[in-house]
Amino acid sequence: MTRSEGGPDRAHRRPEGVGDLTVEALGSLSKALETVERARGQLYGFHQLTGTADLELDRAVGLLRRAGHDEWADRVEAEVLGRNVIPDHWTFQIVESYNSTYYEPFRDLERQARDVLAAGRDHLHEAEMKEARRTEGHPDHTSHPS
């Protein structure tokens, strides 16, 4: 499709027979997955920040020992360094469980729904929203990338 034809490219046009409610439902499912993607990013942030703090404890232990506070260094090593963040889990195990128990099944289901209900086409709701807001002929309101 050329720009002069207007409208979204073929990959973002709803297939024949796909109704408004289906497009809206797939858009909602996609939005929910995008939110889960953000939550997953937060979980990776938690994982990395906790790991960084645990590594900094090595420095704290060394400084406590150099300052003559062996008892405190021993306590930090025994009570906090390398500790599980929740029972039986380090943060990498939480991330792995989240991925396999929730994220991957959700992502797979969303993809299957798009494949079955919309011939695998993604972002139909957004493409139609863009088209409804476009000013035809305006250079910054083109329907799709060239």
For residue 52, the one-letter residue type is T
Q: Is the pLDDT of residue 5 over 80?
A: no
Residue 95: its pLDDT value, please?
A: 98
Residue 9, both tokens: 């490219």
pLDDT in tens, 67-105: 999 999 999 999 999 999 999 999 999 999 999 999 999
- The backbone torsions φ and ψ at residue 40, rounded to the nearest 5 degrees and listed phi first, read -60, -40
What is d(CA 111, CA 95) in angstroms, rounded to the nearest whole number? 22
What is d(CA 71, CA 68) in angstroms, rounded to the nearest whole number? 9
Residue 70: its pLDDT value, please?
A: 98
* Cα–Cα separations (whole angstroms), residue 12 to 4, 15, 144: 17, 9, 9
Confidence of residue 64 (pLDDT cuts 50, 70, 90): very high
Q: What is the pTM of this model?
A: 0.83
